[in-house]
Structure 1
C-alpha cells in the first residue's frame, strides 16, 4: 500500500539574529556573537576535551543552542539538532504536522544502519574529535518528534544515531541505545503504541506524549532524558558522530536535545539505593561510599558527580524534593569524610531519568537511587 501524506506548511520567516521564546524556552542558531564552536564547547563537562569538530550545517537553523529551565524537560541548556528548523520546536503543541523540508541530502551512514534500501532526507550531522581523560565516556540526550504518535509503526520512522569510533572500537558503534538494552532509540522503539495500525507500545516508560497545551515544545512526543555511555581508553582520540535525519520523506521534523556540560568521562560509578520515600543512608550505602572514598585516595581523583533519582510514585514536585534530599544525604557524608564540597557536582533528576520499568517493584527499586561518578581530570 502506498501512503500519501499531504501536509500544508505555513510560511514563516525567522530572523536568525533574534532569539525565539516560548514561555521559558530559548532557541538560538549559530551567529557571529554566538558561534557554533561556542555551542559545541558548551557540551563539555569534566574529563573531556574536544579537539576538533565538523558539521554539514553551514547555514540556516537546523542546529543551535537551547535553554529550557523547565523541570519536566530534565535539563536546562545544551545543543539541539533537528531535521528541520530549531524554531519549529517552539511550543505549545498547536499542530500535529509541523515541519520544514530543507531539501538537504540524507545520511548514507544512517541508511546503512536502517537497511532495506530506506532513504533519508534533511540530515543534520555533527562530528566531534574528543579526548577522554578516564575510561568511560557519557552524555545525556532527549529525542522528540512530530511523527509521534500517528506514524508510530510506519515507514516514517525518523532516525538518529550517535556513532563512536576509536581505539578498541575500530568498526564504530551506535551508542544511542535504550537503557540496559541493545535497541536504538527511535519512534518505533520508544512509544505508547498506535491504535490506528494496532502497533503495540514499546518501551513506554521512556516516552512522554505531549498533550499539555502549556508545554514549551511543539513536538507531539518526546523521550525522557537518557544517558549514553561507552568504555574508552583514556587520553586516546575518538570520533563521536551525531546524526539525525527524516526517513522516507523530508516533511515532519524530529530533533535531538543534548544536555550542556553532560559530555564527560569518569573512572567508576556507584549506585546508592533507597527504600520508597526515604533518603537516609543505611549500612550498605555507607559501605559503598567508603569504597568510593578509598578509590578516590588510590587514583588521587577528588571530583565526583551525584545525581538523585526516584521512582514514579507520588507527584512530580515531591519526587524532585525527594531526589534532592537523597543527593544531600550523600553530599553530607562525603564532606564529613573530607571531600571538598566545591568538588562535588549535584543534580536532582526526580522521576525524569528512569533506568527500569516503574510498573514493577523491581524496576522501582532500581530507579530509587543516587548515581555517583568518580570524574576524570579536567
Structure 2
C-alpha cells in the first residue's frame, strides 16, 4: 500500500512537471476573419474585419495554461514576431523590427510616439437586434520588463470601443509597461525574468477582464491594438482569450481574474543604447 502511494505520488509529480515544461504553441496567422472569429463569443455578430500589421506579427496559440498563462487558447498580436513568444525565456531582449508605422490612438495612451503597431478591428452588433454588455479577457506581455519600466520605451495596448479605450487598470491608467509591473499594479503582474514560466517574454500580466455595459442596439466599432513605444525593438504581445469577446463573462482557470473597469454609457528616459532590430 505504501509503495503504491509513493508510486502514485511520483506519477502525479511527473505529470505535473511534464505539463509545466510544455511550451506555448503558436501558429502564425494574419487572416483577419480567422483571427476575429477565434475571439468572438456568444451573443455577438462581427463584420467588416480589418488587420493591420506584419504577416508574422500575429497568430493563434494553444497550451497557454501549461506555459504559465491564465487561459489556454486564443489570438496573439505582437509588435514583432508571434512565433517569438514561444518559450523558454532564453533571450532577455527578443526583438523583431517589422518597420511598421505606429498608431495615433496608442500614441495618446502611451505618451510617446509608437511604432510597429498591430491592430485587429471590426464592427459588431448584439444578436436579436437589442443592446447589451460586452466582455473580454486578455494578457499583456513584454520583453521591456523589467529593464525599461519608467522609461520612454513604454509599449502599450488599447481596446477601443466606438473610439474609447476601455482597457484600463484599477487606477484607471492605460495598459502600458510603466503602469503595470513589479511596483505599479503589481498584484496583477507576473515577473518572468528568471524564466519561471515557459514563454519568451520577461513579464506578463495575470488574466485581465474588461467589460463595457449598456451599449445600444446597432453597429459598434472595436479595435485591439498594440505597439512599441519610441523605438522598434524588444517585442510585446497581447494574448486574447478565444471566445471571450461576448455578451456574457467568460471564466478563466486562473483564480479571481480581475475586472478592470465596467464602463456604462452614462460615464464614459533614461537613455539606453540598443539596436532597432
Q: TM-score, normalized by length of structure 1?
A: 0.58
Cα distance in 1 between the residues matched to 2:189 and 2:139 = 10
Aligned counterpart for 1:350 among listed residues 213, 236, 255 = 255
Cα distance in 2 between the residues matched to 1:306 and 1:237 = 22
For 1:182, the equivalent position in structure 2 comes to 172
Q: Which blocks of at least 5 consecutive residues in structure 2 are unaligned?
A: 1-20, 261-277
User: Is the contact between residue 132 and residue 232 of structure 1 (CA under 8 Å) also seen in structure 2?
Assistant: no
Q: CA RMSD in A?
A: 2.1
Residue 29 of structure 1 deviates from its aligned partner by: 1.6
User: Is the contact between residue 162 and residue 176 of structure 1 (CA under 8 Å) also seen in structure 2?
Assistant: yes
For 2:58, the equivalent position in structure 1 comes to 63
For 1:122, the equivalent position in structure 2 comes to 116
For 2:234, the equivalent position in structure 1 comes to 252
Cα distance in 1 between the residues matched to 2:166 and 2:91 = 31
Whether 1:105 and 2:96 are equivalent positions in the alignment is no
For 1:323, the equivalent position in structure 2 comes to none
Q: Classify the secondary structure of the residue corresponding to 1:40.
A: helix
Aligned counterpart for 1:146 among listed residues 131, 137, 143 = 143
For 1:329, the equivalent position in structure 2 comes to none
The structure having more radius of gyration, on CA atoms, is: 1
| Aligned length in residues | 236
Cα distance in 1 between the residues matched to 2:110 and 2:71 = 29
For 1:7, the equivalent position in structure 2 comes to none
Q: TM-score, normalized by length of structure 2?
A: 0.79
Q: Which protein has greater RCO, CA pairs closer than 8 Å, 6+ apart?
A: 2
1:112-157 per-position Cα deviation (integer Å, ceiling 9, x unaligned) = 3344xx2211111111111124521111000000000000011111
For 1:17, the equivalent position in structure 2 comes to none
Cα distance in 2 between the residues matched to 1:205 and 1:214 = 17
For 1:6, the equivalent position in structure 2 comes to none
User: Is the contact between residue 70 and residue 253 of structure 2 (CA under 8 Å) also seen in structure 1?
Assistant: no
For 1:315, the equivalent position in structure 2 comes to none
Q: Which blocks of at least 5 consecutive residues in structure 1 are unaligned?
A: 1-21, 166-171, 193-200, 267-304, 308-346, 357-378
Residue 36 of structure 1 deviates from its aligned partner by: 3.7
Residue 69 of structure 1 deviates from its aligned partner by: 4.3
Residue 237 of structure 1 deviates from its aligned partner by: 0.9
User: Is the contact between residue 210 and residue 259 of structure 2 (CA under 8 Å) also seen in structure 1?
Assistant: no
